[in-house]
Amino acid sequence: MASVRGVEESKAPEKQKALEDALYSSLHGVDDPERLIEDRNCLNRYLRAREWNVKEAGKMLKSSISWRQETKPKDIVCHTCKQQQGYHSMRQVGHDQLGRPVFYSSFTQATQRSETKEAAVQHIVYLLEQACSVMEKGADSCVWVMDCDGMFMSACNPQIAYGVNQVVSYHYPERLGLVLALNSGMLMRGAWAAIKPFVAPQTAAKLCFLPSPLTLEMLISENMGEELSTWLLEEVRLNLERPIRESQRQFWEAPPSLTGHDPRGCRSYVDRFLLPYYRKLENNEATFHHPHPNIVESLRTHHFFSMPVEAD
Ligand SMILES: [Zn+2]
């Protein structure tokens, strides 16, 4: 079984540094407004994605720099979620013990009943951009816990999965460090069998099928910390209930009770990124993390309704 730490790199650090230097030199003069070329971790990720081939990594990074100038991914929001609350349930819910952002998604919670490549790409690009803005020191990838219970036919269209993988693997190389697929049935396994031949082996190695919630418990308990492990196990348990509770279906809303399970994320994520969200926005803080688009909207509503009314 795959480690929850993901695929480990074995190339010696001094060799990695020499290849990063060679890649940096090869890109001299490239118009790079976000200064990706000056980011050693970025050079390392592109080299890993191209099996340390400097020429291929250089081509890939130049292509991503052009793509970022054209699409401006930092400004992307998921319009489908804004039009229909809960269309996509994938959201950041915390960080693991290595400081990696952790996403959770549930087909039971999502209100989508059909999917397009454009909407799926928009949502995952938004999440990755936001997660990378709060990547903790030493971390350079994310973990996705994908709860496949409730999966429906059109959600596992291999063409959509292939399209999403193209964008993620070309422009966010090594950013999705591990995908843990839980409660997966025939649909998910069939879709994976269809797409796997078109996915690079190092990418395919990052998908791990977990046979049961118990396996999830065993895998995460040592690596995600007690708080996030407890949150994930409770979230998965609640989303298996039928009928699903309204508080779980509306995962973007704060729970009715202060002490109840919060489907928006674990306590430290909520305290650090959700509760101060509009105060940070009003203070014009330069960089901060935007959560799932519907959580943003819900926070906005509660923030403005709770503002004190000034006396005349
Ligand atoms: Zn969305």
Give residue-wise pLDDT tens across range 208-239. Answer: 888 777 777 887 777 788 999 999 999 999 99
C-alpha of residue 129 to centroid of ligand 1, in Å? 14
Q: Which residue intervals of the chain are DSSP H helices? A: 13-26, 40-49, 54-71, 79-83, 117-132, 158-171, 186-195, 201-204, 213-221, 225-240, 246-249, 267-269, 277-282, 293-306
pLDDT (tens digit, 9 = 90+) per residue, 67-92?
Answer: 999 999 999 999 999 999 999 999 99
pLDDT score recorded for residue 2: 44
C-alpha of residue 137 to centroid of ligand 1, in Å? 28
Distance from C-alpha of 256 to C-alpha of 172, rounded to nearest angstrom: 37
Across 156-189, b (16+ Cβ under 10 Å) vs e yields bbbebbebbbebbbebbbbbbbbbbbbbbeeebe
pLDDT (tens digit, 9 = 90+) per residue, 259-289?
Answer: 899 999 999 999 999 999 988 888 877 667 9
C-alpha of residue 199 to centroid of ligand 1, in Å? 24
Q: Is 251 exposed, middle or buried (0-12, 13-18, 19+ CB in 10 A)?
A: buried
C-alpha of residue 117 to centroid of ligand 1, in Å? 11
Which segment of 161-170, 221-230, 297-306 scores lowest on mean pLDDT? 297-306
C-alpha of residue 77 to centroid of ligand 1, in Å? 8
Q: How confident is the model at residue 1 (pLDDT cuts 50, 70, 90)?
A: very low
C-alpha of residue 26 to centroid of ligand 1, in Å? 37
Please, what is the average pLDDT of the chain? 89
C-alpha of residue 294 to centroid of ligand 1, in Å? 9
C-alpha of residue 119 to centroid of ligand 1, in Å? 7
Mean pLDDT over 194-201 rounds to 77
Its pTM stands at: 0.92
Query: Going edge to edge, which strands form the sheet with 142-147?
Result: 91-95, 101-106, 142-147, 176-182, 207-210
Query: Which residues, including other chains, have CB under 8 Å from residue 240's CB and lie 6 or more apart?
Result: 108, 149, 183, 213
C-alpha of residue 86 to centroid of ligand 1, in Å? 7
pLDDT (tens digit, 9 = 90+) per residue, 20-71?
Answer: 999 999 999 999 999 999 999 999 999 999 999 999 999 999 999 999 999 9
CATH topology assigned to domain 74-302: Phosphatidylinositol Transfer Protein Sec14p (3.40.525)
C-alpha of residue 104 to centroid of ligand 1, in Å? 13
C-alpha of residue 56 to centroid of ligand 1, in Å? 32
C-alpha of residue 241 to centroid of ligand 1, in Å? 24
C-alpha of residue 116 to centroid of ligand 1, in Å? 11
Domain ranges for the chain, please list them: 13-71, 74-302
